[in-house]
Chain A
Amino acid sequence: MNTDRVLIQALVYLAASVLAVPVAKRLGLGSVLGYLIAGAAIGPFALHLVGNQADVMGFAEFGVVILLFLIGLEVRPALLWTMRAAIFGLGAAQLGVVGLCLALAAFILRLPWQQALACGAILAMSSTAIVLQTLEEKGLRRGAVGTAAFGVLLFQDLSVIPLLVLLPLLAVAPVVVATGPSGLHGGLHGWLHAVAVLAAVAIIVAVGRYLTGPVFRFIAAARLREIFTATALLLVIAVTALMQLVGVSPALGAFLAGVMLAENEFRRELEADIEPFRGILLGLFFITVGASLDFGLVARHPLLVLGLTVGLMAIKAEVMTRLGRLFHLTRADARMVGVSLCQGGEFAFVLTGFVITAHVLPAPLGHLLNAVVAVSMVLTPLVFLVHERVMTVPERSDGPRPEEPAFDAAPDVIVAGYGRFGQIAGRLIEANGFRTSVLDISTSQIDLLRRFGRRVHYGDASRLELLHAAGAAEAKLLVVAIDDREKALELVETARQTFPQLVILARAWDRRAAYELLAHGADAVERETFEGSLALGRMALERLGVRAHQAHRAAAIFRRHDKRLFEKLRPLWGDEEGFILASRQSAMTLEKLLAAEGLGQQGEEADGGWSTTSLKKEMEAQDGD
């Protein structure tokens, strides 16, 4: 019975998103609005296909946790340090100034000052999920806008902890016990709680730094993909559980765990494994926000809710824009940050619930706040759209914006397979100033390379998600240097289909594999033993007494001849069965090739330019006359 209910619920959620999201995207509304509309449609206040959102909400918030974990993976500790101005400067300023402005507005609306302050703090929060998802879709997450917005959101996450401690102090009625939403910390007080939080953070740092490496290496060595995924999920869930136990935002804990793993060689694989969960759970999160929209309340006081929402968004956007200008953002960037952070956040729901139980706010006011926050979330994608339509022209006049790569810069080249072959190609590319992103599947190889100070990521490059995570969408070139022939073909095919802009250069086992790789979409191939054999042959010629330059030319002629033959036989390989090629190939020994060299016109040029034979003949003929 229960399973049936879960299945039907899943059916409703999935059907709603499958219907609404592509349509919304098609209409240019963005996926977030699509999910929100889907949620509103199936919610208890419209079609009533799904009931109470509280359970689902708790589950869906896990999507935000995963989002923060993935972001953490991109932020190496050193990078976090460079972002300190955005986090503690702009972030603190946003929460303080925006919070006070909102409190002032609430005070003017005749709320007692304590309630006004609580409202200000709660409403100053923005939605991490909506903002980051939207910025990502618009390709703004890595620039100045992304860094500023992310810094502010991170600070908001950080400040949830002190807010949970401080807000109860604003209680109008005497508080019996200042309990948090749930968990162990409810019973703890003051410094004991602080110690628990610090201990939890220390555990995450220590585990992330020292334990995950060996554990993942052990699991990767087993080459069981699903266990790797399970481990990754386990890690995120464990962090979430730990943080909830001590009453800290799980998203923050997940972010911290991500940062700890950002320099880990398994980072790309982790990203690829967890990414799908993020997408689905975030979608679920947006649906629950849409579904929890209390149409009843909105319908009863439409003007009040709408007025408050518009006021909230206007104040947040305007104040944030001004703050952004103070922090040296360009006008267009500051405006973009302001607009993106103008909605209420998911933490508002948590905090309202909390302050109602703490008797800071009366319950009806709390519900009103929730409605306003939810409506502002629904309106955010629309505000983005309006902002884009209205602001594109003046924004352009500000000139090209210098993009500051706050996150890992996109690579020029992805090198898949960093063994004997890939290393040389990769090092040559890197030595010439191109950024590479390197993937390898052998943990021992990665270990070895890391000891030499090279950054190599663990992963099976034939997986599409991993290619995405490695930056294949922005890269110019993919070097396929893995020695597993099947995997190489698979990789070339996937990459060709998904990333048409990529130039794909592939290592081929032999002539036959080379044709196959080309047929699967590689732009060029190199038979792995060809150049080496040629070099050895040339060396042999030299030892046999052929002058070095002559040997060099003989090898070069051989190379050219063979490459032309390779091209000539290429259509043959496609049409007829492979055995024709195979037989031709076996017949085409070095001996025959060289003989052909001598018979054909190619032989002329070997030393034609330096030969005096024909000149001598002509001179002799003239002398004879």
Chain B
Amino acid sequence: MALGFYRRLQRQRLKRRSQAPAAAPTTVSHDPARCALLVLAHPALHRSRANAALLEAAQARPEITIHDLYQNYADFLIDVEAEQQRLLDHQLIILQFPMYWYSAPALLKEWLDMVWLHGFAYGRLGTRLRGKTMLAAVTAGGDAGAYRPGGINRFTMAEFLRPLEATAHLCGLTWAEPFIVHDSIQMTEASRRAAAQNYGLRLDEAIAALRS
């Protein structure tokens, strides 16, 4: 019985999908003054220092909407419509996360998988994100020397971020120069503060670039 429903449900879903390619706008409260969306993916923000410092710098800027993925989707069940609308509402998309195994934390990947859909973000009809800018802000435990051909990690940070760069390219977004904080585990309070300050300047720059 239940299985029957399930199958019927899936059939209806498939039918539905072909009929309605684009998501209808939902009631996402949006402040038009905010042109930048910071998508934060940090599963242990309470233990973070580097990312927390960066976040503070971003929070100080009224143009930025902070969207904390692990706080909003603790169950990994992403609200696709709401997320797509959120993307549409902003011009600058900042992805801020710590680097785990040379990649983003799982929920950021889930978010990309679920929200950046064919027909919305890419594909012949998927043009909704074109013209926006993507800025990756990444903290890494190793120092800059580790991320180079002879270093322990063998590749540069730019190389590790290529999947994101390619995503931006496929979807027609401008790929901004990523903001990288190295040595996030051992860094002193002073250098953390300096990094946050630089981040703030970088964000201001990116926001200013939207307007020109």
Interface flag for A599 (CB, 8 Å): yes
Known pairs A544-B2, A601-B81, A618-B123; A611 contacts B9 (CB<8 A): no
CB distance from A523 to the nearest CB of B (A): 18
**B contact face: mostly helix, strand, loop, or mixed:** helix
CB distance from A502 to the nearest CB of B (A): 23
Interface flag for B158 (CB, 8 Å): no
Interchain CB contact under 8 A, A605 and B123: no
What are the nearest 6 A-B pairs in CB distance?
A609-B114, A605-B80, A598-B9, A609-B113, A598-B12, A603-B13
Q: Which of A541, A599, A604 has the most CB of B within 10 A?
A: A604
Interface flag for A2 (CB, 8 Å): no
Interchain CB contact under 8 A, B9 and A594: yes
Question: Once bound together, how far apart are the Cα atoms of A556 and B75, in whole Å?
Answer: 8
Question: Once bound together, how far apart are the Cα atoms of A611 and B124, in whole Å?
Answer: 17
Interface flag for A540 (CB, 8 Å): yes
Interface flag for A395 (CB, 8 Å): no
Which chain B residues numbered 87 to 111 have a C-beta less than 8 Å away from chain A?
Answer: 110
Which chain B residues numbered 66 to 97 have a C-beta less than 8 Å away from chain A?
Answer: 75-81
Which chain B residues numbered 9 to 61 have a C-beta less than 8 Å away from chain A?
Answer: 9-10, 12-14, 16-18, 20-21, 23-24
Interchain CB contact under 8 A, A614 and B17: yes
Interchain CB contact under 8 A, B123 and A598: no
Interchain CB contact under 8 A, B13 and A609: no
Interface size on A, residues (CB 8 A): 31
Interface flag for A583 (CB, 8 Å): no
Known: A594-B9, A605-B80, A614-B118. 8 other contacts (CB 8 A): A544-B2, A544-B6, A598-B13, A610-B113, A611-B17, A613-B17, A614-B123, A615-B123
Question: Once bound together, how far apart are the Cα atoms of A591 and B13, in whole Å?
Answer: 16
Interchain CB contact under 8 A, A591 and B75: no
Interface flag for B117 (CB, 8 Å): yes
7 A-B residue pairs with Cβ-Cβ distance under 8 Å, sorted by A, are A556-B76, A557-B77, A604-B81, A608-B17, A608-B114, A613-B18, A614-B123
Interface flag for A329 (CB, 8 Å): no
Q: Which residues of B contact A (CB under 8 A)?
A: 2-3, 5-6, 8-10, 12-14, 16-18, 20-21, 23-24, 75-81, 110, 113-115, 117-119, 123-124
Interchain CB contact under 8 A, B75 and A604: no
Interchain CB contact under 8 A, B2 and A605: no
Interface flag for A546 (CB, 8 Å): yes
Interchain CB contact under 8 A, A603 and B9: yes
Interface flag for A310 (CB, 8 Å): no
Interchain CB contact under 8 A, A560 and B14: no
Interchain CB contact under 8 A, B24 and A601: yes
Among candidates A545, A594, A599, A617, residue contacting B16 with C-beta atoms closer than 8 Å: A599
Contacts of A598 in B (CB 8 A): 8-10, 12-13, 16
CB-based nearest B residue for A601: B81
Interchain CB contact under 8 A, B119 and A605: no
CB distance from B28 to the nearest CB of A (A): 14
CB distance from A623 to the nearest CB of B (A): 13
Q: Which of B12, B20, B75, B77 has the most CB of A within 10 A?
A: B77
Interchain CB contact under 8 A, A618 and B124: yes
Contacts of A544 in B (CB 8 A): 2-3, 6
Interchain CB contact under 8 A, B13 and A594: no
A 517-549 to B, binary, CB cutoff 8 A, 1 in contact else 0: 000000000000000000000001100111000
Interchain CB contact under 8 A, A595 and B123: no
Contacts of B110 in A (CB 8 A): 609
Interchain CB contact under 8 A, B5 and A606: no
Give the total number of A-B pairs whose CB atoms are below 8 A apart. Answer: 80
Interface flag for A597 (CB, 8 Å): yes
CB distance from A314 to the nearest CB of B (A): 51
Contacts of A189 in B (CB 8 A): none
Interchain CB contact under 8 A, A595 and B9: yes
CB-based nearest B residue for A564: B79
Known pairs A614-B119, A618-B118; A591 contacts B6 (CB<8 A): no
Contacts of A591 in B (CB 8 A): 5
CB distance from B167 to the nearest CB of A (A): 13
A 536-574 to B, binary, CB cutoff 8 A, 1 in contact else 0: 000011001110000001101100100000000000000
CB-based nearest B residue for A557: B77
Contacts of B18 in A (CB 8 A): 613-614, 617
Contacts of B8 in A (CB 8 A): 598
Interchain CB contact under 8 A, B3 and A545: yes
Contacts of A617 in B (CB 8 A): 18
Question: Once bound together, how far apart are the Cα atoms of A557 and B78, in whole Å?
Answer: 10
CB-based nearest B residue for A603: B13
A 582-606 to B, binary, CB cutoff 8 A, 1 in contact else 0: 0000000001001101110101111
Contacts of A546 in B (CB 8 A): 3, 6
CB distance from A564 to the nearest CB of B (A): 10
Question: Once bound together, how far apart are the Cα atoms of A133 and B75, in whole Å?
Answer: 50
Interchain CB contact under 8 A, A614 and B21: yes
Contacts of B115 in A (CB 8 A): 609
Contacts of B114 in A (CB 8 A): 605, 608-609
Contacts of B14 in A (CB 8 A): 613
Interchain CB contact under 8 A, A541 and B5: no
Contacts of B17 in A (CB 8 A): 604, 608, 611, 613-614
Contacts of A604 in B (CB 8 A): 13, 16-17, 23, 80-81
Interchain CB contact under 8 A, A601 and B117: no
Question: Once bound together, how far apart are the Cα atoms of A384 and B23, in whole Å?
Answer: 69
Known pairs A606-B13, A609-B114, A614-B21; A541 contacts B6 (CB<8 A): yes
Question: Once bound together, how far apart are the Cα atoms of A557 and B81, in whole Å?
Answer: 13
CB distance from B59 to the nearest CB of A (A): 24
Question: Once bound together, how far apart are the Cα atoms of A601 and B2, in whole Å?
Answer: 21
Known pairs A609-B115, A614-B17; A597 contacts B9 (CB<8 A): yes
Among candidates A553, A597, A621, residue contacting B77 with C-beta atoms closer than 8 Å: A553
Contacts of B80 in A (CB 8 A): 604-605, 608-609
